[in-house]
Structure 1
Amino acid sequence: MQKLNWQRTDLIDESEEIVLHQTKEQKDTLKQTSGVHIEDQTEGRVKITDVQVNDEGEKSIGKKKGQYITLSVPTLTIEDKEGFQELEEALLTRFKKLHDKISWRDDDKILIIGLGNRTITPDAVGPFVIDHLHNLEQIDDKFVMYAPGVTGQTGYETGEFVAALAERIHPSLIIVIDALASRASDRLCKTIQLTDTGIHPGSGVGNQRQEISYEVLGIPVTAIGVPTVVDAPVLIADAVEQMLRSIAARVEERNKPSSKLSLSSWQPDTNKELDMSLVEPIFGEWATWSKEERHQLFEETFAGSHAKLMVTPKEADFWVEKYAKLISSMLTKWADGL
């Protein structure tokens, strides 16, 4: 197949260069040759990937110079209070470290911008965070909060609103909250990305707008994003991948005693490494392609058709509300410590 054009994603740890350098040796090579340093760690159930990109790395992987931190709880559910608490604590710790070099004065202002369209649930994370902050009994007097809507509603670039506010109040820091796009359906609403590189409003759904960043505004910009949508072809490819792995696992296990001892229907472990050539006689050569190549096949098949859709979880309203509460709580705790 041709060289892969990866599906749309706002998460740096899903970008091509990062995904293709998962082992320690590959990460060391990436650091030495392209100016990208990757550090993985786990705190409780929270998986954390810290990616540092320098000038050389920016040219190599097409991501802006700066720090990108992704925090994910793969097993997170809507009712998982413990998981959300762990995620908030990990986010607060990284948020503090990201800003510990700023010397705060008593009269400093922090501009918090909630990007997105509040009438479209998966795009409403930003405005809902602003709502939660406004509903607090006591709002930190450092905060200036605004949800500017989207260009389709106002007719103006979101970046212009932010620039005008920044020029008026002269904040020491701008915090931008937005919904993101992912290229993995199992990461939807289970991940947060934190970065000091700013943001392109609307990039998650393919609408490139004026950048909100230090380079444009002359003010440090921190972006907090939650992936809430994925391209439909990715969802189809993930389902096919799960089906192929399940069949391969069953073929591999069919002659083992473990497959005959179960009192109920035997369920294969689809997470372990499998020999996909086992299903080649059934589905042909394409079943042995890599997951990324199969994703590419579906991307090309549905490109330009009515099936080119964005997909979000059916419980998106609950997820968005949970993250709005989590992020507003984190920001409040952080501001209390300044």
Structure 2
Amino acid sequence: MSKRNLMRTDLIDEANEVVQHRTKKEKDTLYDTPGIQMNEDRNGRVIITHIETDASGAESIGKKEGTYITLSVPTLTVEDEDGFKQLEQQLISSLNDIHQLLKLSKESTIAVIGLGNKTITPDAIGPLAIDLFHEEMFSLSFEPGKVVFFAPGVTGQTGLETFEFVKAIAEHVKPDLILVIDALAARNQDRLCKTVQITNTGIHPGSGVGNMRNEISFESLGVPVTAIGVPMVVDAPVLVVEAIETVFKVISSQIGETTKASSALSVGSWLRSTDAPINIEAIKPIFGEWTSWSSDEIRALLQEVLPPHHQQLFVTPKETDSWVKRHAELIQSGVLSWLQDDVFSSTSP
């Protein structure tokens, strides 16, 4: 039986080659890597990471060739109206940016597909967004038939591959663009529900949780495919690795503070730090040789010792139902504004 990849993620800025270049010096190295163009910016509270890859760059980071835009609000909460508003405005801007070369117009036809299982909360963003689009059908400003909204369900519900439904729509409607909405998987719990990724490379339904289905992309359909996704789950073993690393950082930081002369002046509780680098030599007498292991090596150990059914566990926030509702509303509102105000507006070509 092949070993499962505990490092799997749908987010390009969590891909190994990108994650491993986080310091300024390392980022400069990544910027100079052939085949990868990376730019990070901030607009208000939204952090925007724009990555362009060609064939060689795509191979080096294990992602498809194309454009990836990730929008993150690290401090986002489920009740954060301002954060969601800023995220929506940036989503509209990013949809314009990523579709510049398509030259969409009032004459274009677009298919909006909501992927996922509506009965499983973390996977329901796509279908719920489509439901919200349907509620607005009679108030849309563009011609009927210019945009098709559809949620195909999942293979376990219908008996057919999701790809077959999308292919049938593509053949019947002949859209100029297919816009796919789906839930994603992350490798870092801090990214859950606080990031939106837009890419013109299409999508592999279910790939984030090891349930690989046929790819929905330009290569498979002959139609440009843009995917909008929100990370809703993270591998449970990844949380174990993060917890181990946090323990190492906290104890390393505490040892560093207590050895300083100034620690004798402390009158309050010690402030823990999880941002400082780990002092391996300080914690090795406590935890042993494996403190010098890399995250990849710790994950490999978990892969060996955890039973297969434990490796299939995924974690999602306890407020998942609220997060899913908010993100479905965010995507529906942002995409609808983009369609009405930019693609099908009276000033469009």
Normalised by the length of structure 1, the TM-score is: 0.91
CA drift of 1:242 comes to: 1.7
After TM superposition, the runs of 4+ consecutive aligned structure 1 residues lying more than 6 A away are: none
Query: Over residues 75-109 of structure 1, what are the superposed CA-to-partner deviations in whole Å (9 max), with x where a residue is unaligned?
Result: 21112222222222222211111112333343322
- Measure the CA separation in 2 of the matches of 1:303 and 1:74: 33
Q: Output the CA distance in 1 between the equivalents of 2:61 and 2:311.
A: 29
Q: Distance in 1 between matches of 2:120 and 2:89?
A: 28
Residue by residue over 1:265-304, the C-alpha shift from the partner in whole angstroms, topping out at 9 and shown as x without a partner, is 3321222334243211111121233334333332333252
Instruction: Tell me, yes or no, if structure 1 residue 138 matches structure 2 residue 142.
Output: no
Q: Is the 8 A contact 2:15 2:62 kept in 1?
A: no
Distance 1:25 1:245, change over 3 A: closer
Deviation at 1:313, TM superposition (A): 1.0
1:26-51 Cα deviation digits (max 9, x unpaired): 44544555411221222222222111
Partner of 2:253: 249
- Structure 1 unaligned blocks of 5 or more: none
Instruction: Note if contact 1:183-1:234 (Cα within 8 Å) is conserved in structure 2.
Output: yes
Matches within 5 A, 1:153-302: 153-256=157-260, 257=262, 261-263=266-268, 265-302=269-306
Paired position in structure 2 for 1:103: 103
Alignment-mate amino acid for residue 39 of structure 2: E
1:109-134 CA-partner distances (Å, limit 9, x unpaired): 21000000000000011001111212
Q: For residue 66 of structure 2, what is the amino acid of its counterpart?
A: G
TM (norm. structure 2) is: 0.89
Amino acid at match of 2:73: V
Closer/same/farther in 2, CA of residues 17 and 255 from structure 1, 3 Å limit = closer
- In the alignment, is the contact (CA less than 8 A) between 1:46 and 1:73 conserved in 2? yes
Give ranges in structure 2 of 5+ residues lacking alignment: 344-349
Counterparts in 2 of 1:5 and 1:169: CA distance versus 1, 3 Å: closer
Is 1:237–1:294's contact at 8 Å kept on the other side of the alignment?
yes
Paired residue type of 1:337: D
- Alpha-carbon displacement from aligned partner over 1:151-186 (angstroms, at most 9, x marks no partner): 111010111101101111111111001111111111
Q: Secondary structure at the match of 1:93?
A: helix
Q: Distance in 2 between matches of 1:158 and 1:181?
A: 18
Aligned to 2:347: none
1:311 positional shift: 1.2
- Distance, in Å, in 1 between the alignment partners of 2:67 and 2:226 is 10
Structure 2 distance, partners of 1:104, 1:96, is 10
**Given the alignment of the two structures, is residue 45 of structure 1 paired with residue 49 of structure 2, yes or no?**
no
Over aligned residue pairs, what C-alpha RMSD do you find?
A: 2.2
- Tell me the alpha carbon deviations over residues 226-252 of structure 1, each in whole angstroms, 9 at most, x when there is no partner: 111111100111122222211212111
In percent, how many aligned pairs have the same letter?
51
Partner of 1:14: 14
Q: How does 1:1-150 map to 2 (within 5 A)?
A: 7-30=7-30, 32-136=32-136, 138-141=139-142, 142-150=146-154
2:314 corresponds to 1:310: yes
SS in 2 for 1:10: coil
Structure 1's 99 and 262: CA in aligned 2 closer, same or farther, altered over 3 A? farther
Partner of 2:324: 320
Confirm or deny: 8 A CA contact 1:9 1:182 kept in the other structure.
Answer: yes
CA pair 155-18 structure 1, distance change in 2 beyond 3 A: same
Deviation at 1:146, TM superposition (A): 0.4
Judged with a 3 Å threshold, the aligned counterparts in structure 2 of structure 1 residues 231 and 303 are, in CA distance, closer, same or farther, namely: farther
